[in-house]
Structure 1
Amino acid sequence: MDAVTELTADTFHSAVAERDHTVVLFYVKWNAVSMAFMQSYIEVSESLEDADVSDVELAVVDCGEWTDVCNAQQISSFPTVRLYRPQEPSQPYQGMLGTESLNRFIMLSRLVSPVLLSSPDEVTSFLEGDLYQRHAAIAPVTVLGLFSSTASAGVPVFKEAAKALRGETMVGLFADRRAEIWAVEYSVTLPAILVSRGPTGQTEAHSLHLSMPDQLVTHIQRALLDTFVSLCLYHSLIEIPLTKYI
């Protein structure tokens, strides 16, 4: 396992404190799913190295050998993947156990969240322009928070929710009186969020009436899920007439 770092009780805490992002796979050798996923995990590490991604370290902990580390991290199932950042709680990876899904999670987790936007042009770029295009492969659906000013009571809540959503989607924030432009266009009241699929997709708007970060995270995740389901349904309706005549 040259592509990943094997951590022990002596090296775990220093390792997760050194890098901006340390991804740790907790596994046991007797678990078939752990060992099957190990190959995908190594492939992700190699792809990050090939892409010159230097701020992410992939590591593993054998919980059959280092039970004290795994108990301290409250690992109760295998395999478990967590992302560690210095002086922050660890973030669990809850996606599919495959190369593409894990790589997407890691690349999205490296982005600042929320992306602070300061002008209508930057908002347009985030939703459908250059900024969107740079990250469309890993974040085809983006979320934009709209507030009337940086002093709005909901801004700190939104920022906390955006941090919690790192790895799931790209989140932007526009806190300015000109946010009313989009509120009028999409017939919502501020504060609001826009869930966008880019320049060729549909944009959905939702007014916000939530006061806690975890409530807002759940609200955004549901909006993302609804958008994903709608996209899948759209493609299935397109494919039905085509496959009928094959």
Structure 2
Amino acid sequence: MHAAQRFALGLLAAAAVATASDVVQLKKDTFDEFVKSNDLVLAEFFAPWCGHCKALAPEYEEAATTLKEKNIKVVKVDCTEETDLCQAHGVEGYPTLKVFRGLDNVSPYKGARKAAAITSYMIKQSLPAVSDVTKDTLEEFQKADKVVLVAYIDASDKASSEAFAQVAEKLRDDYPFGLSTDVALAEAEGVKAPAVVLYKDFDEGKAVFTEKFETEAIQKFAKTAATPLIGEIGPETYSDYMSAGIPLAYIFAETPEERKEISEKLKPIAEAQRGVVNFGTIDAKAYGAHAGNLNLKADKFPAFAIQETTKNQKFPFDQEKEITLEAIKAFVDDFVAGKVEPSIKSEPIPEKNDGPVAVVVAKNYNDIVLDDTKDVLIEFYAPWCGHCKALAPKYEELGALYAKSEFKDKVVIAKVDATANDVPDEIQGFPTIKLYPAGGKAEPVTYSGSRTIDDLIKFIAENGKYKASVSEEAEESSAAPAASESTAEPETKTEAAKEAEETHDEL
């Protein structure tokens, strides 16, 4: 064989290795059969132009390789080629990840988009809600994830077993749950049945629950004990902190050394407030812009702030003051006692607000949005959001239709720049549209349909107190062609691609 031939074959072999993948790409004619023939499948529905899909790709590949050893299949579907297949599975954005246990048992993937998180999530999905644990399997079960819970319960104690099983079903996406009825094993672990031991690979290593076996008490214990005393706030952990249901204290610092130093300094406060306030460090170089969301200056670090996550209220610590144990302790104690007023970021109230779309800012939010006599449709937008810009002319037209109708004093079409104003609502993305019906302001309804004028009108009519429906016909007859609704989906792939490629260091 000539040297040139050997070289060419070598290149081909290297290319084959480089392109080898443990992610199986499926098409319409192979998808159903593959899913039916495997007990557990994670599927990604993607588009090649999608920026978030490109960022996920190496993480997804790494997770697939790890999960291959567990016989958990990882697949992907190109929605630009398999349009019908993606529509059949309700794919509306990219990437969409779904967990399949056959074709009739499908659930959305709820974990972070990092290899370790994907692996952890899918391993938990592969386990039963509660696994049987023995003295021979305990050590291996403890290594199943960063946090695992094992209940030690007498075989005859059905009530405690049932309570634990209910918690396991509810939190199975978060932690692996195990059960042992071995009295000797419980004694070896230093507990007496009934008890729950939470094993973790951080902080003190384990925590023990010995209170009355009630589902709410066990669930609260799990959430509290599984949260690091002072963890790291980032893309992989942010949603967990937001869903914890208790306030979050941020420690902003620019270097790992400084974050460690401040954490050690504030550790006694975190210990005293465990289960009341969560504490976490955040990389100010990577995510310094998030300081602005907490009404801190985004260029002055280190910094400290508390967020009341359930009400989205912000409590920044004075950045002119030094972060000391005494100062932060006093600040946190006052916060817990309700003695600290929240900081409110707001644009000025508009001098005139008589346009077809009411302009909402933090200072007039309650007056407009929570006016209990009116159905209020409000759009939460960001100035940089491409989809918000595309929606703007249609939204103005929607406002004009109601302003000229018999419902002009009963229905308000409003918008708020959620990046410049503190709002109490939890906003996951832009634009977010919600309807606050008259007489029921505590329960807003989030809109999830196509962003067409006709669909928005139907949404208001179906969910508002006044069942207010208006007609587009009169407006369309005099409207310019550019304002007409001629497409079923207002978000084109080009626009979506632009949106996906935009980078923001929001958490």
The interval holding the TM-score normalised by the smaller chain is 0.5 to 0.7
The whole-number CA distance in structure 2 between the counterparts of 1:102 and 1:115 is 20
The corresponding residue for 1:201 is 205
The whole-number CA distance in structure 1 between the counterparts of 2:258 and 2:149 is 26
Letter aligned with residue 207 of structure 2: T
Which of 113, 116, 119 is equivalent to 1:97? 113
Kept in 2, the 8 Å contact 1:20–1:55? The answer is no
The corresponding residue for 2:77 is 61
Unmatched 5+ stretches in structure 2: 1-18, 233-256, 266-507
Kept in 2, the 8 Å contact 1:27–1:34? The answer is yes
Distance 1:63 1:100, change over 3 A: same
The corresponding residue for 2:57 is 38
Distance 1:5 1:131, change over 3 A: closer
SS in 2 for 1:11: helix
The corresponding residue for 2:24 is 5
Deviation of 1:8 after TM superposition, in Å, equals: 2.0
Q: Does 1:168 align with 2:174?
A: yes
Deviation of 1:157 after TM superposition, in Å, equals: 6.2
Give the TM-score taking structure 1 as reference length: 0.67
Kept in 1, the 8 Å contact 2:198–2:207? The answer is yes
- Name the stretch that deviates more: 100-109 or 194-203: 194-203
Kept in 2, the 8 Å contact 1:147–1:179? The answer is no
Kept in 1, the 8 Å contact 2:230–2:263? The answer is no
The corresponding residue for 1:131 is 140
The whole-number CA distance in structure 2 between the counterparts of 1:84 and 1:216 is 32
Deviation of 1:36 after TM superposition, in Å, equals: 1.8
The whole-number CA distance in structure 2 between the counterparts of 1:101 and 1:239 is 24
Deviation of 1:24 after TM superposition, in Å, equals: 0.7
Which of 245, 248, 261 is equivalent to 1:240? 261
SS in 1 for 2:48: coil
The whole-number CA distance in structure 1 between the counterparts of 2:223 and 2:87 is 34
Quick check: which has more Rg, 1 or 2?
2
Deviation of 1:172 after TM superposition, in Å, equals: 0.4
What per-residue deviation string (whole Å, max 9, x for no partner) do you get for residues 3-32 of structure 1? Answer: 222222222221111123222111122321
Q: Does 1:145 align with 2:151?
A: yes
The whole-number CA distance in structure 2 between the counterparts of 1:45 and 1:109 is 15
The whole-number CA distance in structure 1 between the counterparts of 2:97 and 2:217 is 24
For residues 7-22 of structure 1, what are the structure 2 equivalents within 5 Å? 7-22=26-41
Deviation of 1:164 after TM superposition, in Å, equals: 6.0
Distance 1:43 1:148, change over 3 A: closer
Letter aligned with residue 92 of structure 2: S
Q: Does 1:223 align with 2:222?
A: yes
Letter aligned with residue 36 of structure 1: A
The whole-number CA distance in structure 2 between the counterparts of 1:157 and 1:75 is 36
Distance 1:13 1:173, change over 3 A: same
Distance 1:243 1:143, change over 3 A: closer
Distance 1:242 1:96, change over 3 A: closer
Letter aligned with residue 204 of structure 1: V
Kept in 2, the 8 Å contact 1:8–1:61? The answer is yes
Which of 64, 82, 85 is equivalent to 2:101? 85
The whole-number CA distance in structure 1 between the counterparts of 2:81 and 2:166 is 36
Letter aligned with residue 140 of structure 1: K
Letter aligned with residue 79 of structure 2: C
Deviation of 1:45 after TM superposition, in Å, equals: 2.5
Give the TM-score taking structure 2 as reference length: 0.36
The whole-number CA distance in structure 2 between the counterparts of 1:81 and 1:231 is 30
Among all aligned residue pairs of Structure 1 and Structure 2, give the percentage whose two residues are the same amino acid. 19
For residues 106-125 of structure 1, what are the structure 2 equivalents within 5 Å? 106-117=122-133, 121=135
SS in 2 for 1:229: coil
Deviation of 1:71 after TM superposition, in Å, equals: 3.0
Distance 1:116 1:46, change over 3 A: closer
The structure in which a higher percent of residues are helix is 1
Structure of greater relative contact order (alpha carbons < 8 Å, 6+ residues apart): 1
What per-residue deviation string (whole Å, max 9, x for no partner) do you get for residues 172-207 of structure 1? Answer: 01247789869x948xx84x5332226961313154
